[in-house]
Structure 1
Amino acid sequence: MTAKEAVPVRGSARTDDDFPVIRPADFTPAQVESGGKKRFLSPRALTVSGCLLISLMILLYLLIARSLIFETQPPDADVSVSGFALPLGDGHLVLPGNYKYTISAPGYRPKSGEVEVRKEGHSRHTIALERLPGHLQVISDPPVPVRILVDGSEVASENGLAKNIPPGPKRITLLSERYLPFTREIEIEGLDNTQELRAQLRPAWANVRINSNPPGATVSVEGRVLGTTPLNAELLQGDRVIRLSLPRHKTVEIPVAVTAGVDQTLASVDLNAADGIVHVVSNPVGASVTVNGEFRGHTPLELELSPGSEHRLRFFKNGYASVERTINVDSGLERDLNITLDPVYGRVRITSSPENAQVYIDGKLAGTTGETFNLPARSHNILVRKSGYEDFETTVIPSAKLEQSIRAVLLTAEEARWSKIPTEITHPAGGTMKLMRPNAQFTMGSSRREQGRRANEVLRQIALTRPFYLAVTEVTNREFRRFKRMHSSSHVNGISLDNDNLPVVNISWTDAALFCNWLSERDGLQPVYLTERGRVIGFDGAATGYRLPTEAEWAWAARYERGAMRKFPWGDDLPVRKNSGNYADSQAARLVPAVLRTYDDRYAATAPVASFAANHLGIYDLGGNVSEWIHDLYTIGTGLSMRREENPVGPQDGDYHVIRGSSWRHAGLTELRLAYRDYGADPRDDVGFRVARWVN
């Protein structure tokens, strides 16, 4: 029933039965036909949208991408870039980032790498590929094996083909036996290509004609036999030695300069008969051998002697009688010669002091001194030994014609030590010094009863045992100027004190001490005087360098003789003896107030050192000429003490130093005495010094 049918008609009365019952009906969805559906985007719209999207992406890529360009050598090389890279002209279009590349070309080594493309700009790179090595085929005329050198270094080759030669200009050298070197400059193009080099080789030999008399001699060069004479030989150029040998003839060697392509004929070579050979032995062995007066060597010996003449042979050896022989030899033959030498003896008597010492001859105990030994007439080593003494050693060659004597003076260890210490030395400034070995006890100073004595000459008991060197003369101007080049000793009233050989004067005690230190430094010795800013502030008594003599040393050297103390340089009495020294004599009358009127030493002021005789020790001018600075500081004792002073060196502190000895200004009894003592610190024109040093 439809809805229309269910509507009642107005005006009629109806009952419930008149109304029909409304019943639900089943729902079925409406079916829409396919042809009537509507789509959201049509295919055309989709196509247009996709094209727009792609165009947008391309535009975005073009805006972000940067060009990556490789300029290659060679230009036609292939370039491969990793990742998304659009080829564009000579390069690629790529997004910023890192890219790997490979560049290759035929005949070149490929090259790979990595580049970075930045946002800021385009990327351009220049890449040059390395050419592959080339190969060289050598074709020689004539076709002989050759060695190939490239720029002076030999390369491996096979049948004339040298492979893998780096490209570029090369100097090719071809070497072949018996041909001259061939050199050519060529350009190796490389690229794995093979080039040809044609070489015309020139012979490196010449023909040499060789003849000998007699013929048939074997010809060899550098150990290779070429044939027998007469012979045409092909010899390589250079300095050659041709050797000709023929039985029972002397072998001849001929130097020949061979030039390639220049043939030559040598002068005929005369082959002389060969020497005879004599094998010489002797008993004992080692005998010297002369042939016709010419020394040939020592036995055993092989002698080559010319045939056809006599030869005088002499054999000799120390301790044996010589032997002479005259022999003839045949050409090319050998013979033996045995020689016996008879020993020759000589008598040698050996004595010693002290006696009864042992005698060793050639290292073997032979007896005791006082004996006579019968020894072969050759060199022998003689050693004489005794307990407590140093060995005595010498050599001797006994003679059969006369008896020889050897006297061995044996020294104790102490004597032997002193025998090795020089008795005379020269200091660096040129002065001579003598060795002094005092072993004396003496009284220094003078008695109160002695005429002319001064109060400062107090008696002192001295024991002087320490050896020392003492200059034989005072230091001269020449010697001192090696230390101070500009020093001048000046003059006195026009009389020069400055000549080279005159004693240096006008120097202070400090000047003298510093001169001694300078000598020590020159000899590498420890300086004695301690200094500070050019001043002497003390001394080192243990140092072994140069110094001034101590007062005890000076007094011993000047006065001590045979256990007594001299009074004057010439003796113990007045008057002054002739030529005994340089004092205030008649020559000095215009310079000093008091002079020795009857004495003339020829010098008004200072005299050259060593102008007068030395004393008994060989020391000059300890009295006269100039007074001398002494090492010791000046002090005055209180009287003779019972205490004996051992090798005194004076105190460390004081204001003045001792001056000893008279000078050219002195003529009085007080000053002429060797006991005279003075003191000072400042320079004077009559005070010099001499040097000393202890023995190590």
Structure 2
Amino acid sequence: MQIDDRIQQAQRRGAGLYMLSAVVTLIVVGGVLSWLFLVRAYVVAVGPDEASQTAVLKGVSGTVFVKNDTIYTLGGEVSVNVSADTFESSLLTIDANSPTNLEVVLAPTPARLQVKATASENAELLDETSWYIDGKLIGIGASLDYTIAAGSYQLQLQNPYFLKGDKTLKLARAQIVDIELALESFSGKASINTQPQGAEIFIDGASQGETPITLDLRGGLYDLVAKRDGYQTLEDRLSLKVQQPEISREYQLQAVQAALNVSTTPEGGVLLINNLEKATGTHSLDANIAHSVSYQKPGFFPFSQRITLTQGQQRDINIVLEPELGNVQIRTNMQAQLTINGVNEGAIDQQGKQFILPAKAVSISVSKPGYRTVQQSIVPSSDRDLSLNIELLSEFDARRKEGRPLFATQLGINLLRFSPGAYTMGSPPNETGRRRNEHQIEVDFSRDIFVSETEVTQAQFSAFSSAQSSSSKQPQVNVSWNQAALFCNWLSEQEGLPKFYRSNGDTIVGYDPGAIGYRLPTEAEWEWLAKKAKRARSTVYVWGDQTRIPTNAGNFADQSAKSNQLIHLQDYDDKFAGVADVASFKADRIGLYDLAGNVSEWVNDSYTTALPNTDIVHTDYLGASRGSQHVVKGGNYKSGRLRELRAAFREVGESPKDTIGFRIARYAE
């Protein structure tokens, strides 16, 4: 019975073992089958060839198994680190979309340079070292820490205070090179002199001798000190560089100083120390040297002295000037009132008066009703007596003596004086709107001229012409050139001036170019006034070169005149449909009114179709020598084209018109 029980127990244990073996076998078979169906393999090729020999693959993240060059995953994204000796590691990321054959190329690990510059002397200057590899600057300083790809290179060192250094390098991957390079110094010279000579020279605190001196020095920086008795110590910094191994210094030593304190009575004069203007107060001066000190003020005797101060001396000097007076005798040609420096001194006449006045600028004024006041500035002197004989003239006689306009002023004609200069009259070939009769002529002027501010008005002309009586300020129009010239002769006669025009009865037959009587402006003068006066260069129009007419520039055919003018300016409105009073528009840059418009103007020149001589410069050009017609200049209230407003524009005038007037001119002397 016992035997049977044991047999049965053994059978039960065997059955259990068989069952366990079966289960284990099923698990193993299931695992292998799962591996075969679920695991993915990736083969990694590592480059370059030098890296593949020592390449190592290592899983970093995800379910991954690595064996040699193969990576096994159960799916999902994994990361593998790829490394090799002397190469930079690379992180490889693999996911379901990655190919089964992968390639990773590793970058070589660069070499590292750790280089230090050394020198046997002046090591503190090594910070200015420049480092170059194959001619390229890679760093500045006493040392260099630099990474670079493996290879052969030429390392160069440059320092302004040392000779150049270089070294050939052959670098391997991941190599660390730690070297020291010694820079060599060089020999230089420093030539040193001072004015005055004989100063003791110290270099970095050590005495080297007296100037002039030449020193042998190595390249570098040196502190220089120059000392000489009686002079201030001089300090400088010497620099001997490779590019300039020899230097020369010339120093001007400054004398030791003293102090001079200057005060003055009276104040407000000019104080000079060594011929330089100074303010009163304390001044630092070189000791043991003579200095010139002067002080002067108008009305006082000047002070002048030479002063020498010792080293460190402080000296006060108070300069007191004595008044200087002069005798002045003043007399006049008639009894009048005398004013001196604004103070009324009473009546004075032919007998005169004696005055004692300060020796400075004194203002003298003598006046009498009906006579021009005479003002003079004099400077009396104690060295000599001064005598003044003052002549009073009536305003008429004074103007005549000065050659200034007289009767014209009474008519209300104001004349301005001009000094014309050389220019080219006419227009250049490329000027827009140019006409064939605008010949370019070089002209110049030798005489100043007077020109009326405005065109002659109807009121002014009526004083000459008994045929009309008018108080109108509009310009006189419907007047012939001959009538305008006769008006000029009449005005000259009123002022006692020689007539410019020669006449036979009421007909002008010629002119006297040397006469200073009234006349019409020449075309050259008119055009100079219109486009060159007070201008750096000639302009196209009176107002400048711009084709857009400025506001208030003149009276032209514009929007105001379009109802009776077929051709008119579109973008301008002067508010006048017809002729306007003179000076209704602003004056041009030289003070003249209506040169550009209102009415056109007769000028002196005869009109001819003959070509002028353009090979010479015409001085005081009066135009063509003969011709039955005359030139008309300037635009007018019927001018509706921009080309007609140009300064060079010229028309032939044959008879009186309601668009033509004139202004007057004459030579100043």
> TM-score interval w.r.t. the shorter chain?
0.3 to 0.5
Larger radius of gyration: 1
TM-score (ref. length: structure 1): 0.44
